[in-house]
Amino acid sequence: MIAHLRELLRYRELILNLTLRELKARYKSSVLGFFWSLLNPLGMMLVFTVVFTIMMPNNAIKNFPIFVLCGLLPWNFFNTGIMAGTNSVVANGELIKKVYFPREVLVIASTFANLINFLLALVVLFAAIAVFRTQLSPYIWMLPIIILIQTCFVLGMAFILSTLNVFYRDTLMILDVFMLAWFFLTPVFYPIEILPRSYVLLGIDLDLHRIMYVANPMASLISAYRDLLYWGYRTDFDFILRTTVTAVAILVFGYWFSIRYSHRFGEEV
């Protein structure tokens, strides 16, 4: 893996060029171009706000637009990063057959393109924070760390799923359904407090809140974003450490899994 990482470093300019190509292709022939990175989350925020504050009033959530954006923006990065990363190798099959380069470059470029979109979308969130005058956490300096942790998690998952998609093309279709279920199982537009604290299953008393955070890394990450940008808290360091270990472990395994089978990508795509 060390040798592969050194080789990958030599292709850093290719990663940059493919990232820019991905961004340009996404907004090609679009009138608004990169402004869609701002308008899309803004539109989703308005929809959720209308549904949950007007059609289904929930006065328990103060400044609901900020609350929902703190969950929606990280989720959009996760969702688009996973879906695009999963298809990145297959979608570039012709390029793979023509020239040699580390195949992981495609997944990295796809993830970085979605990361840039996420960073642009954060402009909407900070504008909304200014409008609603919510208090930022004194530990806002931790935000880049949270973003880095999530990027590692997205990249690791994309490595694994893109490799599976090369050999099993129904991976993307199964993933589409799975991501929808994952969305509703993650407290994106609702507070985790609405879930019962405990649930008895087969005589075992389960702590649903703890299970949610332990079994669902995205729940932990969204909670960290909300601590810094919505509640104004200091996010729990033990909480972040556990999520960091999970993200790095998935990244290392995903990268190993990808390079383990990358030599077969050319004949399979």
- Domain with 55, as residue range(s), is 2-268
The DSSP call for residue 33 is G
Q: Which residues contact 108 (CB under 8 A, 6 or more apart)?
A: 8, 15, 155
Give the SS3 label for residue 138.
coil
Confidence at residue 251, expressed as pLDDT on a 0 to 100 scale: 96
Give the SS3 label for residue 149.
helix
Q: Walk along the chain (269 residues) and give the pLDDT tens digit of each residue.
A: 788 888 888 998 999 999 988 888 877 766 566 666 677 777 777 777 777 766 666 556 788 888 888 999 999 999 999 999 999 999 988 888 888 888 899 999 999 999 999 998 898 888 888 888 777 788 888 999 999 999 999 999 999 999 999 999 899 999 999 999 999 989 888 888 777 777 777 777 777 777 777 888 999 999 999 989 988 877 777 778 889 999 999 999 999 999 999 888 888 77
* Count of domains for the chain: 1
Confidence at residue 177, expressed as pLDDT on a 0 to 100 scale: 93
The full 3-state SS of 90-137, as one line of letters, equals: HHCHHHHHHCCCCCHHHHHHHHHHHHHHHHHHHHHHHHHHHHHCCCCC
Q: From CA 108, how far away is CA 8, in angstroms rounded?
A: 10
Confidence at residue 167, expressed as pLDDT on a 0 to 100 scale: 93
Q: From CA 191, how far away is CA 195, in angstroms rounded?
A: 8
Give the SS3 label for residue 205.
strand
SS3 content of the chain, % helix, strand, coil (to 5): 80, 5, 20
Q: From CA 252, how far away is CA 146, in angstroms rounded?
A: 18
